[in-house]
Chain A
Amino acid sequence: MINKTVANVQHACRGVEDGMTFMLGGFGLCGIPENAIAELVRLDVKEVTCISNNAGVDNFGLGLLLQKRQIKKMISSYVGENAEFERQMLSGELEVELIPQGTLAQRCLAAQSGVPAFYTPAGYGTEVGEGKESRDFNGKMHLLEHAFKAQFSFVKAWKGDTAGNLIFKGTARNFNPNMCGAAKITVAEVEHLVPAGELDPNQIHIPGIFVQRIFQGEHYQKRIEQRTVRQRV
């Protein structure tokens, strides 16, 4: 067993510098690496590029980095829940690249799996396709899209072991598995860290080879963006 455990979030984020590109898992506020985001705020790294499906809300998630103007560029598919984001984008302070959600996921997967580029029909004929190489396959046009390049991936899992194996819960899985091993260093924070051997190998979603550092996360808020309920009849 190769031990991937680090003592805490400070150790997990060693090597993080201004100007780097980070991948961050999560869909909305579901499954975001809360501990790593808090540490990036504390470290006050500047001019960073963030690859993440969403940009958090005004006072949580990546919204915390936006508030402190730490982000130079966001690469996302949907940013509708964040007023500060919209303000920075429309004023030109923040560079934004909006890309289709499936393309975002596949560009993570391509980086994880050593595929430099791939073709997808998403965005052909729209401004997403402007300036991109396109090609006809079976009578349908496709765009050439490239694997992401990032220095750090920050992901959050439900359970993990000291070997870096990960298990996700519910829809908190989302982009987290696709970002593992997609950057030079993958940092996984987990709600439950257990000794290697305690997880059933049949149930592991991401093998530890894709994870360089794992730590026990703390004080999860797990905020709900849209609390929708039904009445009991």
Chain B
Amino acid sequence: MLDKNQIAQRIAQEVKEGYYVNLGIGIPTLVANFVRDDIQVEFQSENGILGMGPFPFKGEEDADLINAGKQTITALKGASYFDSATSFSMIRGQHVDLTILGAMEVSQNGDIANWKIPGKMVKGMGGAMDLVASAENIIVAMMHTNRAGQSKLLKQCSLPLTGVNCVKKIVSNLAVLEIIDGKFKLLERAPGVSVSEIQKATLGDLIIEGDIPQMKF
């Protein structure tokens, strides 16, 4: 079973040369730490920076330089700043190559829910609805089950949706899955996790073809 950093490390393998990448809050933010340093990649944060760098050294924090999670950051050489409308022109206009975000639930047809639990938690969708509605390449980083042990990979989402038919790939603490023809297709399993454990933790329809390889790091 993977921890959050290992999920991020596995997702980092999906980041390719020349990609502009938008990272959501939570596990996705960690992906930046694991991207190979021999490829050229730029991170976009929807509050208005392209070319986002690591956290600043202590004493060098700048209140005017944050990411979408409101964390202090730095800008790399070649970075640019822009307004919110321009930021979403990049996103809606499909200029961003890869979007990585978290989810509370994903359904087997690629619907995603991650912004609201009616009556309990209403934080808002932020930029997630714009991202999932327009991005061509969306990877979801998530835990396979919730704290009560219930599957978060479902036939249909029970929570209010963020977007429909949009998720392409999921990297969870148990597996890598692809969404194909309205089903979850198992691609890889986490080290030490069996196919039957993944089956038990997945409520949606699961396609298992041949031997399922273990993730490589």
Contacts and interface: CB of A to CB of B under 8 A. Distances in A.
Interface of A: 27-31, 53, 76-81, 86, 89-90, 96, 98-106, 108-109, 120-128, 158, 168-178, 205, 222-232
Contacts of B63: 29-30, 172, 222-224
Contact of A78 (B61, B73, B125, B165): B125
- Which of B46, B69, B85, B87 gathers most chain A CB within 10 Å? B85
Interface in B161-189: 161-165
Nearest to A103: B130
A104 B124 CA distance: 12
Contact of B85 (A105, A168, A226): A105
Interface of B: 45-49, 54-58, 60-73, 75, 81-85, 87-88, 91-92, 111, 115, 119, 122-130, 133-134, 160-165
Nearest to B73: A228
A226 B92 contact: no
Given A121-B133, A225-B70, A27 B123 contact: no
Given A31-B64, A101-B46, A224-B61, A86 B122 contact: yes
22 contacts: A28-B47, A29-B63, A80-B123, A86-B122, A100-B133, A101-B84, A101-B126, A102-B87, A102-B88, A105-B85, A106-B85, A109-B85, A158-B64, A170-B65, A171-B65, A173-B81, A174-B83, A175-B83, A223-B63, A224-B61, A226-B70, A226-B71
Contacts of B71: 226, 228
A128 B72 contact: no
B86 to A, nearest CB: 8
A230 B60 CA distance: 10
A121 B115 CA distance: 17
Report, nearest first, the 9 A-B pairs whose CB atoms are least far apart. Answer: A102-B88, A102-B130, A80-B123, A125-B164, A170-B64, A100-B129, A105-B84, A222-B63, A121-B133
B92 A122 contact: yes
